[in-house]
Chains A and B, each alone.
Chain A
Amino acid sequence: MRKIKTKGAKIIIDVLREEGVDTLFGYPGGAVIDIYDQLAKSDLRHIMTRHEQAAVHAADGYARASGKVGVCLVTSGPGATNTVSGIASAYMDSIPVVVLTGQVPTQLIGNDAFQEVDIVGITRPCTKHNYLVKSVEDLGRMLKEAFHIAHSGRPGPVLVDIPKDVMQGSTVYTPIKEVQLKSYNPTYEPNVKQLPKVIKLIKEARKPLVFAGGGVILSKASKELTEFARKIHAPVTSTLMGLGAYPAGDPLWLGMIGMHGTYRANISSSECDLMIAVGVRFDDRVTGKVDAFAPHAQIIHIDIDPTSIRKNISVSVPIVGDCKITLEKLNRLLADEDLGDLGTIRAPWLSRIDQWKATKPLAYEQRDTIKPQFVVEKLWELTKGQAIIATEVGQNQMWAAQYYHFDQPNHFITSGGLGCMGFGLPAAIGAQIACPDKLVVDVAGDGSIQMNIQEMGTVMQYKLPIKVVILNNGYLGMVRQWQQLFYDCCYSCTQMIEAPDFVRLAEAYGAVGLRATKPAEVEKTIKKGLSTPKAVIMDFVVEREECVYPMVPSGKPITEMLLV
């Protein structure tokens, strides 16, 4: 019997469907016409962004909101190079994204052909792994491996570069059930010998602190984390990436830690005698001066990536394993332990923290101009904390992190590690596609919204009811803040004059534009924006020289905070 051959481009569609993909984000071009041709004949949904960078950010936002793998499809050359910032952002934040790039035909590779670029070489340091498919026989297997690698272990972006002749070639394609990689076996199960050490330290601790990161959200371990912290009566802080992993409404919640962390979270980290770090990587924006970080604490570090452990901080009990599985096991062990009257034991520690909360809360002064913090606070109030919040990068991002109190995971979508301006709007698109029934808001600054403002076109084309909240101060605010505090107010090149009229810009795209210039208008504007059933840009003209506080100057211990 003659076996039926399948075209490479069709194999791509088949693998995407096998992997449960229903939506991809992309931008067509010469080298990928074959895939787009097959796409048109399939039931897959394609969202065309206005720029390839936005396509990756959208796939990333989709992945963060849904917990599934985001998929992005672009052409060779400039299409591929435009994805690099998006890939690097997903890599820093461990987001599972598969990026498919077209490539010139194999016989032209290396000849400086039209729209040829060595994207595998370019993205090698910012992908978890990448492939150049040299033969149609390898295509199915490499795509399957790409998905497997992207979402397993510590997730991350994987790029597959596919030459045009590979898409056009044919082979007998048999779906691969299970991916076998002899050199890649992530450790999910923690070493059980380590777990009793954790229990012992918890029993001895007087001032424990749970410190959660993005790993908790990625491993879907919020429930287990919450149970764990409550069981051991320990206060909880988190990184920027960990916001939402623990409910912000809970009395044990301290707020975010780090450069713009809350006073009580930062001081607690320096006073605690036990730090239980779950799914974090001790980034410099969290630790400040490393030698002064958690100086009195024994540190337990749970992470699926062995390279995260002891990279920046030495720890007493390292545990390589999946956060969810490890916390489940710890919770089970704790259930059989007599922990004593923890309410009484922890009372002095928790009441000290409460005092810090009372004396040094997150605060801003209300004046006649609109305070950006006030806008975010009102947004939180009026959305009942239920919205998915994407952010741009800079002051807007930090105010969103501080004043929107997240009670659930996968609701805060931000470029944490890379700090990639222009992330918010396309990421909001991805999140809205993933969660069509949810309210999705992009909290933006006037600077970073302009980095991918063209995506309003995508928003309108797919009728996405995304709300963009611009905290408009006419500055690149975070850099201006550094200039104010550390460079004698020399505002070199941070003033953004001649910004577009965002209300009319919204209208030009066919969206609704609203503006507020006085504090009294804020609530009304947000209410009107939220009740509008289509895309809205809300332009809040805010206090120009407001700073994000607390702030720990770079390289200083995180206890040395500048406060309001």
Chain B
Amino acid sequence: MNNNHNQESRRHILSMLVDNQPGVLSRVAGFFSGRGFNIDSLCVSETTDPLVSRITLVAEGDMNILEQIKKQLNKLINVIKVMDFTETDYVQRETALVKVRAKPENRAEILRMADIFRSRVVDVGTEFYTLEVTGDGGKINAFLKLLKPLGIKEIARTGAVALARERK
């Protein structure tokens, strides 16, 4: 296991189809914690088939670790299919809700930035605006960086969801 290329650690987006049953998420999450692997983000939702859910999971590791993770996930009885999008062409999106301090003198700037990032104001209070922004992780990080000096009260991020691109 001393191939240098294989030891390069990178971010992987795993998309799995699983049985839509209680306990399945616990099996997947338990496998990661039990074997000492870390989950960066996780999203679960039903698919068009109510018996099947999709778990989108982001984890970091070298090729050997990822290979082992994929095999172990496939071994779980309730996991129907595991896809690693890393080597393929895919679209990924993440959504964040950001509660930012909206002093009267900053409000116009906040709206300008929101416009640039195609973000929307979803709640307006006397002191705070809540913005919704969608994109890949890089875009959301950039948006948060710009808002930070204005004062971010709290954020909620979804974690990535992804689908493979169709052949053109």
Contacts and interface: CB of A to CB of B under 8 A. Distances in A.
Interface in B1-60: 1-3, 19, 22-23, 26-27, 30-31, 34
B102 interface: no
Interface footprint category on B: 20 to 34
Interface stretch (A307-315, A335-343, A369-377): A307-315
Contact of A120 (B3, B19, B23, B77): B23
A307 B78 contact: no
B1 to A, nearest CB: 5
Contact of B77 (A183, A291, A305, A306): A183
Contact of B79 (A125, A183, A305, A307): A183
A182 interface: yes
A149 B67 CA distance: 24
Given A120-B23, A307-B68, A182 B30 contact: no
B75 A307 contact: yes
B71 A183 contact: no
A307 B72 contact: yes
Contacts of A291: 2
A183 B23 contact: no
Nearest to A312: B1
Contact of B68 (A120, A125, A310): A310
Interface string A349-390: 000000000000000000000000000000000000000000
B75 A305 contact: yes
Given A125-B34, A305-B75, A183 B26 contact: no
Nearest to A126: B34
A121 interface: yes
A287 to B, nearest CB: 12
B36 to A, nearest CB: 12
A310 B23 contact: no
Interface residues of A, number: 20
Given A129-B77, A182-B80, A183-B78, A124 B26 contact: yes
B91 to A, nearest CB: 26
B92 interface: no
Interface string A101-145: 000000000000000000011001100110010000000000000
Nearest to A130: B23
Contacts of B19: 183
Interface of A: 120-121, 124-125, 128-129, 132, 149, 181-184, 291, 305-307, 310-311, 313-314
Interface of B: 1-3, 19, 22-23, 26-27, 30-31, 34, 64, 67-68, 71-72, 74-75, 77-81
